[in-house]
A and B are shown apart, each in its own frame.
Chain A
Amino acid sequence: MVLPVVFFAVFFAWPVVSIVERGLRPDGRWELGRFGETLSRPEILDVLWFTLWQALASTALTLLVALPGAYVFARFDFPGKRVLRAVVTVPFVLPTVMVGTAFLALVGRRGLLDDWWGLRLDTGVWAILLAHVFFNYAVVVRTVGGLWSQLDPRQEEAARVLGASRWRAWRTVTLPALGPSVAAAALMVFLFTASSFGIVQILGGPAYSTLETEIYRQTADRLQLSTAAVLTMVQFVAVGAILTVHARVVRRRETALRLVPAERTARRPQGAGQWALLGGVLLSVALLILAPLGVLVERSLATSDGYGLDYYRALGQVDEGGTFLVPLTDTIVNSLQYALAATGIAVVIGGLAAAALTRRAGRLVRGFDALLMLPLGVSAVTVGFGFLITLDEPPLDLRASWILVPLAQALVGVPFVVRTMLPVLRAVDERLREAAAVLGASPWRAWREVDLPLVRRALLIAAGFAFAVSLGEFGATVFIARPDNPTLPVAVARLLGRPGELNYGQAMALSTILMVVCAVSLLLLERLRSDRTSGEF
């Protein structure tokens, strides 16, 4: 309990509080009047309104598209299911910069659809919404589908035997069981889309701005720290509220449902209706998820004279322009090293936090649980700038140290670790530990002999998630990465900011490499998925 609390205090609370204080207490006096003044400005109200409605619309659209997908993944067996499940999760861990780029390459100017049918969404609300669906599809499939696959179909069958219509059986038996997990997934999607940064920045153009991009603009472009601080507080309160509701919903979800192993519930589709549903879902996955990913691959191979590996070859050379002082292939190594370090930190911190949360119940602990989730919803720019102004005194002048990057990434990884570990740890029978203690094992040894074997798998899955999240993390990294060792997503963003065909091609090639790395690590996770993990991702 102590270590996670210290970690969060030093690397999250302190930087964020400092930067907010800088904005609201410029000369040693709190100027709380700034709240009213900021929140009554029409352009700020516009931003809040746009943030809210695009997040609601994105959430609704995601549920609409992904719920049938969740059903299909839960109930049907079909060849390639495992690979596909890994593939639909890839977008979730890709850096938003790449998601934005992929969508521009698909629906933007000279995008694929433009080349074929002259269809051009360009930038705007629709592009943002579609990218959000692409991004969050996996959240719904994993959260809802995970539970759905373990619901005992015999309960519904029993209702049918007793004379209920198919619809009524589903409504009275399955829906109440699923409800909380749908709500939990919807809240998560809402949280991610409301705090989306890269996608809005790239696909929104100058006319669209959400809370997150506005905080960035007010801090980085205008140095209006007071406005940024007010917005950060608004975001904080909103995220806190969402997380509180989420925790409630999840607790309700932990009510005793009779769960069965997923293998027993999935079967091959039967009849035209089910095949049609499966086909429909596969088509939507192909259009929404495979197409943008495919475009990245296509662009990385399309050189000015036909298809080839030129861009990949170019990655290995040091570019004379000097934007990067190392060959770009080094960014892959950098990224992997950072990700390993970040995973280590996240697993230690998250594991300890999860262990602490299983042992104790009570309000304080639940508060801590929600606290651990906060980094998911707090603007990376706030954290990044907070790092700059707080971690600058010895012994903690980490601004020039490589360790800062994995630390920032671990902040985002910890919530995933906690979410994956907690359900499993809670399922370990307390009496086993007691028995070990009675037999004279030290608490440490009891943990090692009893808990560890049971949670090893979950730990691996958690580590995998932390790894993938760290690979794709962009927001905080971009503030602190240095030109002599950029990470992969940062390198992509910089390449895209430079003119010339070669830079664009190299950005696409790097994106493709990252995508493959993510997909492979997720596929390995798929193999590890134990049927006991009803983890939330």
Chain B
Amino acid sequence: MNIRKAAAAALVAALGVTTLAACGTDDVREAAGETDQPMPKTVTLVSHDSFNASKEVLAEFTKQTGLTVKVLKSGDAGEAVNKEILTKGSPQGDVFFGVDNTLLSRALDNGIFVPYEAQGLDRIPAELQLDKEQHRVTPIDSGDICVNYDKQYFADKKLAPPQTFDDLAKPAYKDLLVTENPERSSPGLGFLLGTAAKYGDEGWQDYWKKLKANGVKTVDSWELAYNQEFSGSAGGKKAKGDRPLVVSYASSPPVEVLYAEPQPKVAPTGVSTGTCFRQTEFAGLLNGAKNPEGGKKLIDFLISKKFQDDMPLQMFVNPVTKDATLPELFTKHGVVIEKPETMAPKKIADNRDQWIQQWTSLVLK
């Protein structure tokens, strides 16, 4: 019997501790529905690990609305979306930012968002608004996934850098390209989708056979590809990376300049403009949000000029609103991709898993 008594005592103690802990934090009380304020003071933004915003800008939102933004980073882009799908109806926050066009259909079909037409939507080009009928999601930023090249390498070799998908499969560029596993990494997936958009549902596999024969190397993550294998980045130079071509972003060269000491006059890397795939990221109001009113205000804020101007140097993406100003770093060292490859979210959703599987058996095995 003694054990039972001890257990009871311990249980009481443990419960006591938990309750005390619960009383100490507001969010738990809110979660338990014990809010006595009419309007919660915080709004929670769930996002992927790459989300960044400067403190001043978040403080500005608090000044305008009286709400504090709590950011909850929930893994990489795919993982974060999947967690929201799993917890549908009882989400971890109010707004989700960071679902891109490659995952959009999955998120919409699973009904994790509720419609909300943001204030100021008219400043965003119509072709980016991929859910125009219902406005379950709002476009926030866009970027292009493109092959980057190491300028120094091609200058030394007196070889013109490749500019198109076709070029990458030419013998002149044998054993030079490193890409990412599309299952684990969004640039890897974007590059695969770019080839599928360019060569069609049947043709992309032949193209990848050529790439494989031409010595393409695959690693698991963008970090490894860009900072270890690629010879053009600061990290790759240190790591003695020996691949002068890497699948990265159109915004990578400006970033390379930004983090260099001292900053060079021209970027050490360039972009192969004919190898790009357009990625757009969206935010949406979560189904079952505890603070939907605050969530709506936050979405309005994400497309305000203030946030859009701040975003490029925080997340290295392009703003979507027409009135945003690009920082000088981008205008000086970045390129504008005129004709990126694109693909409808529905088509991506229908084919993505199958393509990844085909790609895996074709390239990795």
Chain A residues proximal to chain B, CB less than 8 Å:
1-3, 6, 22, 43, 109-110, 114, 205-207, 217, 219-223, 320-323, 325, 345, 348, 352, 355-356, 359, 385, 388-389, 392-395, 397-403, 442-444, 446-447, 478-479, 482-484, 494, 496-501, 504
Contacts of B238 in A (CB 8 A): 110, 501
Top 10 nearest A-B pairs by Cβ distance?
Answer: A443-B2, A397-B31, A206-B181, A220-B79, A110-B239, A392-B90, A394-B32, A3-B7, A400-B27, A206-B220
Contact of A359 among B3, B25, B71, B82 (CB under 8 A): B3
A499 and B233 contact, Cβ closer than 8 Å, known pairs A207-B364, A220-B78, A400-B92 = yes
Contacts of A504 in B (CB 8 A): 235
A19: nearest chain-B partner, CB-CB:
B86
The reply to whether B4 and A2 contact each other, CB–CB distance below 8 Å, is yes
The reply to whether A206 and B184 contact each other, CB–CB distance below 8 Å, is yes
Q: Does B85 contact A (CB under 8 A)?
A: yes
The reply to whether B54 and A322 contact each other, CB–CB distance below 8 Å, is yes
Contact of B2 among A221, A322, A447 (CB under 8 A): A447
A387 to chain B, nearest CB (A): 10
Can you name 9 A-B pairs with beta carbons within 8 Å?
Answer: A109-B229, A206-B220, A220-B79, A223-B86, A322-B55, A325-B71, A394-B33, A442-B2, A500-B259
Q: Does B87 contact A (CB under 8 A)?
A: yes
Contacts of A110 in B (CB 8 A): 228, 238-240
A219 to chain B, nearest CB (A): 7
Contacts of B55 in A (CB 8 A): 320, 322
B156 to chain A, nearest CB (A): 21
The reply to whether B184 and A392 contact each other, CB–CB distance below 8 Å, is no
The reply to whether B259 and A499 contact each other, CB–CB distance below 8 Å, is yes
Q: CA separation between A494 and B50, bound complex, in Å? A: 10
Tell me which residues from 1 to 17 in chain B have a Cβ below 8 Å from any Cβ of chain A. Answer: 1-8, 10-11, 13-14
Q: CA separation between A217 and B8, bound complex, in Å? A: 41
Q: Does B206 contact A (CB under 8 A)?
A: no
Contacts of A401 in B (CB 8 A): 21-22, 25, 27-28
The reply to whether A221 and B14 contact each other, CB–CB distance below 8 Å, is no
Q: CA separation between A394 and B30, bound complex, in Å? A: 10
Instruction: Identify 18 new A-B residue pairs, CB closer than 8 A, beyond the known A359-B3, A389-B86, A497-B49.
Output: A22-B86, A109-B241, A206-B184, A221-B78, A321-B314, A322-B314, A323-B49, A398-B28, A401-B27, A402-B25, A403-B21, A443-B3, A446-B2, A447-B6, A494-B49, A499-B223, A500-B234, A501-B235
Contacts of A443 in B (CB 8 A): 1-3, 5
Q: Does B331 contact A (CB under 8 A)?
A: no
Chain B residues proximal to chain A, CB less than 8 Å:
1-8, 10-11, 13-14, 18, 21-22, 25, 27-28, 31-33, 49, 52-55, 70-73, 75, 78-79, 82-83, 85-87, 90, 92, 106, 181, 183-184, 218-221, 223, 226-229, 233-235, 238-241, 255, 259, 314, 353, 360-361, 364
Contacts of B219 in A (CB 8 A): 205-206
The reply to whether B240 and A109 contact each other, CB–CB distance below 8 Å, is yes
Q: CA separation between A207 and B181, bound complex, in Å? A: 10
How many CB-defined contacts (below 8 Å) exist between A and B?
151
A365 to chain B, nearest CB (A): 12
The reply to whether A400 and B31 contact each other, CB–CB distance below 8 Å, is yes
A38 to chain B, nearest CB (A): 14
The reply to whether A389 and B25 contact each other, CB–CB distance below 8 Å, is no
Q: CA separation between A114 and B239, bound complex, in Å? A: 10
The reply to whether B86 and A388 contact each other, CB–CB distance below 8 Å, is yes
Q: CA separation between A494 and B4, bound complex, in Å? A: 44
Q: CA separation between A501 and B227, bound complex, in Å? A: 10
The reply to whether B4 and A385 contact each other, CB–CB distance below 8 Å, is no
A220: nearest chain-B partner, CB-CB:
B79
The reply to whether A221 and B183 contact each other, CB–CB distance below 8 Å, is yes
B353 to chain A, nearest CB (A): 7
A423 to chain B, nearest CB (A): 19
Q: CA separation between A395 and B22, bound complex, in Å? A: 10
A402 to chain B, nearest CB (A): 7
The reply to whether A444 and B2 contact each other, CB–CB distance below 8 Å, is yes
Contacts of A444 in B (CB 8 A): 2, 5-6
Contacts of A494 in B (CB 8 A): 49
Q: CA separation between A397 and B219, bound complex, in Å? A: 39
Contacts of A442 in B (CB 8 A): 2
Contacts of B53 in A (CB 8 A): 322
Contacts of A217 in B (CB 8 A): 183-184
Contacts of B360 in A (CB 8 A): 43
B323 to chain A, nearest CB (A): 24
The reply to whether B52 and A321 contact each other, CB–CB distance below 8 Å, is yes
Contacts of A320 in B (CB 8 A): 54-55
Q: CA separation between A334 and B27, bound complex, in Å? A: 19
A348 and B14 contact, Cβ closer than 8 Å, known pairs A109-B228, A397-B31 = yes
B18: nearest chain-A partner, CB-CB:
A403
A500 and B49 contact, Cβ closer than 8 Å, known pairs A206-B181, A401-B25 = no
Contacts of B90 in A (CB 8 A): 392-393
B210 to chain A, nearest CB (A): 20
B211 to chain A, nearest CB (A): 16
B72: nearest chain-A partner, CB-CB:
A482
Contacts of B4 in A (CB 8 A): 1-2
Q: CA separation between A399 and B11, bound complex, in Å? A: 21
The reply to whether B218 and A206 contact each other, CB–CB distance below 8 Å, is yes
Q: CA separation between A323 and B240, bound complex, in Å? A: 28
Contacts of B8 in A (CB 8 A): 2
A122 to chain B, nearest CB (A): 10
Q: CA separation between A501 and B13, bound complex, in Å? A: 47
Contacts of A221 in B (CB 8 A): 78-79, 82, 183-184
Contacts of B31 in A (CB 8 A): 394, 397, 399-400
B260 to chain A, nearest CB (A): 10
Contacts of A352 in B (CB 8 A): 3, 6-7, 10
Q: CA separation between A268 and B5, bound complex, in Å? A: 50
Q: CA separation between A443 and B52, bound complex, in Å? A: 58
